Chain A
Amino acid sequence: MTLAAPIQLAATVNEHLAQISNTLIYSAMAVYTLAFFAYIAEWLFGSRSKVARTAAALTAPKTQETAAAAQGPAVTVKSAGGTAVLERPKVVVRSAAGSRDVPDGPGAHGGDQQGDLYGRIAISLTTLAFVVEAAGVVARAASVERAPWGNMYEFNITFSTVAVGVYLALLALKKNVRWLGLFLTATVLLDLGLAVTVLYTASDQLVPALHSYWLYIHVSTAILCGAVFYVGAVGTLLYLFKDSYENKLATGGTPGRFASSVLERLPASATLDKFCYRVNAAVFPLWTFTIIAGAIWAESAWGRYWGWDPKETWAFITWVAYACYLHARSTAGWKGRKAAYIALIAFACWLFNYYGVNIFVGGKHSYAGV
């Protein structure tokens, strides 16, 4: 018997806990569905508003030589006789020449109060679903007494939990990411739907778990990277839509009513572009680390740190693709849309590595029961 690839590590399975985990995952799906509808309500109510700020900014005569966005609130200082308000000098921000001075959209609710209310409800529901799903993942892990990433079912539930976690963390950090909500819950539902139908594996399935903490480090960072890359990819896609919308307006075209209504409310394309860059750039070192950790683990498990195994190869391809993206951003003529296409290709590589390699290619990394 070859020990290398399929070292099958036994895991005592607690059927009861596994059952609880399944129930929790199904409950999380139900709550995500509610959240999904709440986000839809937010968008629907938001469509009542007629702010049209992008159009206004782009079609108005170019009087705004400087788009003033005041930075920093007034500073309160204590001076001898009591509290005096010392006005801090205002910082005038000029967007880079060549980019449009477009204000960010108000968000899905479009400034509509009821829409905003539904949006808040949606976020609360998302948070609740996140907690339930996380509990489901933990129960699953407890039932098999190992990390919950032994097969693709477990990967999927962990992955969507982490992706929602990233979104909520960004919200908690007061980042302007609320617009992601609808797209996120939609994909999470898709992901979980796939998980419980096609990919479901009873928890007695085995893992090729090797006794190495590098495995845990490697896989957990890989999942986190994937979640963040995913957020970046959604942003990039929306950037592309918003950018062509702005282009159309700027060149005097009239976008369709639906497109206007939706895109109007998103942040400006420049904001989206920056957001995606930051997200992708921030995880790129972590992805690099993930690959290094994988190599260290492979070295101790398989006797070579790099062997062009399909999974390794695709991790490398993904890495080079993201490096391409980062390079494109600092190459004249490749900023903006072209770089965005590269970012999408890079994410497609990540996805292929995640699903495609497991399903179509195989190799040493294949998991029990897919």
Chain B
Amino acid sequence: MSKTTPDTGAEQNPAAAPAGADDLGAAGAQLSTAPTETAVPGSFGGNRAPGLAGWLAWTAREITGWVRWFWRQLTSMRVALLLLFLLSLGAIPGSLIPQNGSDALKVEEFKQAHKTLGPLYDKLGLFHVYSSVWFSAIYILLFVSLIGCIVPRTWQFAGQLRGRPPGAPRRLNRLPAYATWRTDAAPEQVREAALRILKRRRFRAHTAGDAVAAEKGYLREAGNLLFHVSLIVMLVAFACGQLFKTEGDKLIVEGDGFANTLTQYDDFKSGNLFDDDSLVPFSFTLKKFTGTYERSGPNKGTARTFEADVEYSKGADGKPQHKTIKVNHPLEVDGAKVYLVSHGYAPTVTVRDGKGKVIYHQAVPLLPLDANATSQGAIKVMDGYTNPQGKKEQLGFAAFFVPTFGGAGQDSMFSQFPGLDFPVLALGAYHGDLGVDAGVPQNVYQLDTKNPNLKPFKDDQGNILKARLLPGETMRLPGGAGSITFEKDIKEWAGFQIVQQPGQGWALTGAVAALAGLAGSLFIQRRRVWVRAVPGADGVTVVEVAGLGRSESAKLPEEIGDLAALVHDTAPTRNDADSDADSDAAPDRRPDAATPVPAEGEQKK
């Protein structure tokens, strides 16, 4: 890489210099440090000396030639453009095809529906585009290109900062903005004045030969480099975040707690480089969940607040502290963040056996099905139950819960409002073997009623035993098999997502730096100005002011106008009728007083 640096720097820069600068020589070169677009042959060809040594030398030459060629291609603007284009193109499929990362369920559905496309997409990694080989290849190449582009440009820029603005080109009148006049002032006087004026305007200026050369707007290049470096910082931060990220879910009923260890999660995902020790040690207890809802109007039932009051402690045994977690206001403990992501109800039930002994007393979290918190779940009594025949059995209850009952007189019930106004719990009762121990993963919120070992309790008519209970009511199981009570104490639960993603600070820093760099790069113009003063053929001083900027520069003529006016104040136009240098400059309105007007520059600023 370092090998290519010197020649890149030394070359002229037709790519970045504005058109028309080709005849300007060094004056127009390197107005930006964009890489040059020069064709370098890959193969050096050349003669191959006989013998092994000759072959080795030739091969080495060839290889370095091609490596150089490849590197040049990769770091050229053209390829950067191509890679950028590919990057945006490559991002598209991920937004149109379901992705494993965000919605694995949809991916399954898609695979079911598209028997031929599914496997093909799978092969191409289209279900995880942003971590697929080809997408990674694009951005890694882009960033290699970026680094390969930045390093030489930084050197080149440093060189420009150490050097001085290039001297004036021979023919200033070919520059994009140009002014000239004849004056009585001596050339040295004009140059001195110009140097002073340019320096006051914070140009880097020096006198080179018969002209003053000046340059301004280096911050553009600095900003541009800063921007591109920040892109790298952001990418590295993002990659670290992905590799070390952990993300887990936990459902907690009011009164229960959580300690941040792997076993406590309901669901846990982590990046490739995660190891168990990196989980931040902390624990918290959900004291109370509060949800309030709009009571009237067209938005009735819409959530107003969701708040989870928690007590948490850092480390293994830190001091307990209080915090209210809300949407948008996560709890933050040493880089781990706890977000409130869901909530629901957990009715408390008590199950007694035939002898009246309490064998189960618990708040059972149920999953909401709609916006009014119509909820569903299962109550599973795994052990401790002995049926009237003296045989150990398990009990299962299919539970259906509404916080505000609707559907009176109907078969099905539903909730009319998400708040706890008129709670009703509907239960269906089963006994036998829940099949939990069979090794097949089971949904805790569902009763496997298809399981042949799980038999429903029957009512008098021989139907499945069902009941709708109000708080405090009890459903008796037939044949003295026991009872289940819907307690008045209805709890709420909250779902939390616990996320640890290192590198966020870096990503943000990178983003802010990128923004600053970008502003510098786009809003600052880099331009060169030359002021030449030489005695003309007749001995009268001819002043020429000219400027060169990037092709987009519109302000340049204005600035040249301002500068020329300032110089003109100290070296006014000579009052000669037959002057041809400025014959179109309204000779009849020529100032009669040739005195300098130094205040002029200040006035116009």
Contact = CB atoms under 8 A, between A and B. Distances in A.
Contacts of A330: 15-16, 32, 34, 77
Interface in A1-24: 1-4, 7-13
A95 B522 CA distance: 21
A70 B472 CA distance: 93
A282 B524 CA distance: 11
Q: How large is the interface on A (under 10, 10 to 19, 20 to 34, 35 or more residues)?
A: 35 or more
16 contacts: A7-B327, A71-B177, A85-B591, A87-B586, A89-B582, A91-B560, A92-B179, A211-B328, A278-B554, A285-B515, A288-B515, A307-B102, A313-B95, A327-B77, A329-B552, A332-B14
A212 interface: yes
A313 B130 CA distance: 10
Interface in B518-570: 518-519, 522-523, 545, 551-552, 554, 557-558, 560-562, 564-565, 568-569
B341 interface: yes
B291 to A, nearest CB: 9
B178 interface: yes
Interface stretch (B49-57, B85-93, B200-208): B85-93
Interface in A80-128: 80-81, 84-99
Interface of B: 14-16, 18-20, 22, 32, 34, 37, 77-78, 80-81, 84-85, 87-88, 91-92, 94-96, 99, 101-102, 129-130, 173-181, 238, 247, 294, 297-299, 302-304, 306, 326-330, 337, 339-344, 368, 370-371, 373, 418, 495, 497, 499, 501, 504, 507-508, 511-512, 514-515, 518-519, 522-523, 545, 551-552, 554, 557-558, 560-562, 564-565, 568-569, 572-573, 582, 584-586, 589-593, 595, 597, 600, 603-604
Interface of A: 1-4, 7-13, 66, 69, 71-72, 74-75, 77, 79-81, 84-99, 204, 206, 210-212, 274, 277-278, 281-282, 284-285, 288-289, 292, 295-296, 299-310, 313-314, 316-317, 320-321, 323-324, 326-334, 349, 357, 361
A11 B558 contact: no
B302 A1 contact: no
A1 B418 contact: yes
- For the complex of A and B, list the 8 residue pairs with the smallest distance between their C-beta atoms, beginning with the closest: A97-B20, A10-B302, A204-B298, A72-B561, A320-B88, A10-B294, A313-B95, A10-B299
A313 B94 contact: yes
A89 B558 contact: no
A274 B554 CA distance: 9
Nearest to A85: B589
A88 B522 contact: no
Given A3-B327, A303-B497, 12 more contacts: A1-B342, A8-B302, A84-B592, A97-B19, A211-B327, A288-B514, A304-B499, A310-B96, A313-B91, A314-B95, A331-B37, A361-B95
Given A96-B18, A211-B328, A89 B91 contact: no
A326 B573 CA distance: 43
Contacts of B238: 306
B96 A361 contact: yes
Contact of B591 (A84, A282, A328, A357): A84
Contacts of A305: 504, 507
Contacts of A329: 552
Nearest to A349: B88
B15 A80 contact: no
A90 B581 CA distance: 11
A307 B499 CA distance: 13
Contact of A87 (B294, B552, B589): B589
Given A10-B299, A91-B178, A285 B518 contact: yes
A10 B584 CA distance: 71
B101 A13 contact: no
A357 B96 CA distance: 9
Nearest to A292: B511
A317 B306 CA distance: 35
